Structure 1
Amino acid sequence: MTSNVKGFTLVELVTVILILGVLILGVNGIIIFGSRIFVESSSVDQVIGQSRFSVERITRELRNAVPNSVRLTSNTNSQCIEFVPIVASTSYLTMPIASLTQVANGAKVMRDNAQSRIAAGQWAIIYPVSEADVYQQAKAKRFSLNKVTLEANSIDLEFAAPVQFSAASPRKRVYFSSDAVSYCFEQGGDLYRYAAYGLLEVQPTASSMPVARVKVLMGQHVVNDLGDNDDLPLSLTPASLMTNAIVQLQPRFSVLGETFQYRHQVQVINVP
């Protein structure tokens, strides 16, 4: 009897298996290569986005700083920039100021807006022409508010005790603030924001921050050499009679062997 059964020979099967193996290896290489490109691109985009956010955040806050409150400190472990953010500002109508009025525990200022941001517990600061005027209470340029009463077109301020500011503002400006804020580039490549630690006469470093503070991670992968004065991420040109304070931001970031650097200048435009 004649058999009509058909099939593949062993040689044909081995040949097909070899061809499929080669195809699988090629496709697998393409998939792995594409996945690696995607992961690396995502990592780069994440670091770039994070760095842009941190630089923009520092810029916005510095532009809203109390005049002459910006100061800088550096060591081999960290570099920190500190300033006092403005919560509100307005013009005063009556204020206990030396050579103008007697010591008093009350004052009156113009209402800044319909929903005033001035509140008890804040600092009232008048005519700060140096960082000492902001951070040293003995200079009599800042006093704490005990009570705030909103009137129709003005705000009544009450201090905790009778006070007297040491100097008047040429334009009768008064600034209101709470605690200082610090941005610290730290050894290891991290950037942190410190807040809610008060106003200290001596500027704290990252390692000397009070225990009672709020610490938030703002950026990573910073590769500036904090021991090299020519490679620090921050520099400060203090205010003078001719110019406002200028902060130069120049942090370098690194990801997957690639390094990029920002060169950004911030002018602190507020004046006493």
Structure 2
Amino acid sequence: MRKTQGFTLVELILVMVIIGILVAVSGDVITKPVKAYLTMENRASLTDNAELALRRMQRDIRRALPNSIRISNDGLTLEMLHTLDGGRYRDRPDISATSGAGLCAENPADDVLDFTGVDDCFEVMNELNQFNPQATSGQSLVIYNLGYGEGDAYTGSNRTTVQNSGKSGIIKFDLLIFPLRSPQQRFFIVDTPIQYRCDLKSGQLLRYSGYPINATLLSPPKKTTGNQLSNQVRHCRFSYAEASATRSGLVSLSLTLGKHSDEAIQLVQQIHVDNVP
């Protein structure tokens, strides 16, 4: 009679142990590279998001009204006044004008910006790129903004609303006596404040615009919805070193993104600000 072929219990257990070892080894070989790839992909995505947000902030900061950058005490909110356009105003009468006539319809004998009394228009001495004096809507005129005292555009002492002038080379505005002259006859047209705010509870970096100018920093602005620039925000810090006689202003931005500390990325950027008013 033929004997029945088969495995012994010892052989079966030995095979199972060997298979288990092979599965464990092959699992580590495959799993670790996959995990490393997913981690690198997640960090690259977080880095891209942070870089996009910082570049947007840098673009707005470079177009900010001189000396208008302000930061909250906790370093989580940054606000500025956005400059739409600017140039130089006429500070002396045009001697070539017939009988001394100027270009301002309301005051044809004078087209200069008068600092000795109430004025409402002046001639622009350069081409404007973004601002059209004949079609204005909510813009403001600012002259010699220092960020404090009489030269503070947030309080409105050197800021007034622009009106339609009817002429391309004339800027007309609400009656005002500007308290300070610009040594270089410079003026700026601002359209809206811009605020960046880190909401650490929701993990978002938000951008606000289109709200009224306030004398004090309100975070967030009232009745305004912010646009999300980044999510997964774990930490952020904004700081501002004001300009001095030897250097320009310096804005420092620090942004940390990531759901877990072991996968978080941190980017730091510094932006020089020309604060010549």
Identify the TM-score tier after normalising by the shorter chain: 0.7 to 0.9
> What is the match of residue 79 of structure 1?
76
Pairing 1:55–2:59 present? no
Structure 1 segment 184-263 matched on structure 2, within 5 A: 184-188=197-201, 189-206=203-220, 209-211=221-223, 213-224=224-235, 233-256=237-260, 257-263=262-268
CA contact (8 A) 2:143 2:188 kept: yes
Q: Give the direction of change, closer, same or farther, for the CA distance of 1:146–1:191 in structure 2 (3 Å limit).
A: same
1:210 aligned partner, one-letter code = K
From 160, 167, 172, the counterpart of 1:158: 172
Cα distance change, pair 203–39 in 1 and its aligned pair in 2 (3 A) = same
Match of 1:134 among 146, 149, 153: 153
How far apart are residue 33 of structure 1 and its match? 5.7
User: How has the CA–CA distance of structure 1 residues 263 and 24 changed in structure 2, closer, same or farther, with 3 Å as cutoff?
Assistant: closer
| 1:240 Cα offset (Å) | 3.2
Give, in whole Å, the separation in 1 of the partners of 2:237 and 2:130: 37
- Cα distance in 1 for partners of 2:23, 2:259 equals 32
1:183 maps to 196
User: Offset at 1:169?
Assistant: 0.5
2:254, 2:266 within 8 Å by CA — same for their partners in 1?
yes
Q: Name the SS of the counterpart of 1:175 in structure 2.
A: strand
* Residue matched to 1:98: 115
SS at match of 1:43: helix
Instruction: Tell me the CA shift for residue 95 of structure 1.
Output: 4.6
User: In 2, are the aligned partners of 1:47 and 1:255 still within 8 Å (CA)?
Assistant: no
Q: CA deviation at 1:43?
A: 1.8
The 8 Å contact of residues 146 and 158 in structure 1, kept in 2 or not, is answered as: yes
Contact 1:221–1:254 under 8 Å retained in 2 = yes
Q: Displacement of 1:244 after TM fit? A: 2.5
Q: Which letter does structure 2 place at the counterpart of 1:246?
A: L
Q: For each residue in 1:202-247, what CA deviation from the matched residue of structure 2 results, as whole angstroms up to 9, or x when unmatched?
A: 11113xx211x241111223323xxxxxxx6111112334432211
Offset of residue 144 of structure 1: 0.7
| Distance in structure 1 (CA, Å) of the matches to 2:208 and 2:264 | 26
Q: Residue 110 in 1 paired to residue 110 in 2?
A: no
The answer for the alignment partner of 1:228 in structure 2 is none
Which residue does 1:123 correspond to in 2?
A: 140
Structure-1 separation of matches of 2:76 and 2:28? 45
Q: Is the 8 A contact 2:120 2:175 kept in 1?
A: yes
CA RMSD of aligned residues (A): 3.0
The corresponding residue for 1:144 is 161
Provide closer, same or farther for how the CA distance between residues 131 and 61 of structure 1 changes in structure 2, counting only shifts above 3 A: farther
Deviations 1:161-187 (A, max 9, x none): 422211111000000011110111122
CA contact (8 A) 2:144 2:182 kept: yes
Aligned length: 239
The structural deviation recorded for 1:150 is 4.2
Amino acid at match of 1:103: V
One-letter amino acid of the structure 1 residue matched with residue 42 of structure 2: S
1:234–1:250 contact (8 Å) kept in structure 2: yes
Structure 1 residues 174, 39: CA separation in 2 closer, same or farther (over 3 Å shift)? Answer: same
